[in-house]
Amino acid sequence: MSDPNSPLRTPQFSTAEYSGQPGTNRCKSCNQALSGSYYRLNGVIACPACAQKVRVQIPQDTHAAFTRGLVFGVGGAILGLVLYAVFTIMTGWIIGYVSLAVGYVVGKAIRRGSGGVGGRRYQIAAVALTYAAVSLAAIPIAISQASKAPHAARAPQSQTLRAPSAQSAATGAPAAEPGQPVAKRHINIGAALAGLALIGLASPFLSLADPLHGAIGLLILFVGIRIAWRIAAGASIQILGPFKLPARAPGQAPAA
């Protein structure tokens, strides 16, 4: 148990503390008697020296801190995407509760990268990355499910080659002869990936085709986003003051 009179006592400013004995004005961190002025740190009385220590230790929001937080957040989102997709592919269970873990991972990653700094822009980044990780996980899941589905039976090649295409019938162009090489269609990889990304980002709302399960999935996703939002807010310490101590009445003994 730590000595309450020790100067190395860790400040406790998470909840307000008030003494029931009038005249006992002491700093809740160092336990020294207050004289002249005092501060309030999240409602807790503190001396000017302890208030200055806390003010110096509060992490500052800088461009470098936000950049590190964003980089860590992207890493957390990728980890969350992999976690969601692998769990669903390996078990075959589509459980939206994994969204809660994704939100936690992303929020913690942003806070770790920023060094504890939080704020509105960190929260917005956490929301965007959590939504992207959960929604884009639908792409590898869909690809895995499609690869396991039985392939549709193909028509015999001889019939395919002898049947004129709709385009040749409409334009009068000669149909492809048997053995003639068929021109390969060029695939734009960038456009294909962009299309997959758009479908993935829309997947939480596309799931509303099944209203009950889709609504439950969106609700759980909202809770996961809420978790990331709260974690990325960071620790908030409000320092108010200085306040002047009331003058002691004549003949009144100082606080012990």
In this predicted model, what pLDDT tens digit does every residue of 214-235 receive, in sequence order? 899 899 999 999 999 999 997 7
Query: Is residue 243's pLDDT more than 60?
Result: yes
Separation CA 12–CA 190 (nearest Å): 54
Separation CA 151–CA 234 (nearest Å): 51
Contact in structure between 220 and 97 (CB atoms under 8 Å): yes
pLDDT tier at 54 (50, 70, 90 boundaries)?
A: confident
pLDDT tier at 186 (50, 70, 90 boundaries)?
A: low
In this predicted model, what pLDDT tens digit does every residue of 26-45 receive, in sequence order? 888 888 888 888 888 887 88
Task: Report pLDDT for 57.
Answer: 77
153 or 140: whose pLDDT is higher?
140
Q: What average pLDDT is seen over the chain?
A: 77
163 or 212: whose pLDDT is higher?
212
pTM for the structure as a whole: 0.65
Separation CA 193–CA 205 (nearest Å): 20
Contact in structure between 41 and 238 (CB atoms under 8 Å): yes
Separation CA 176–CA 164 (nearest Å): 7
Tokens of 92: 């075959």
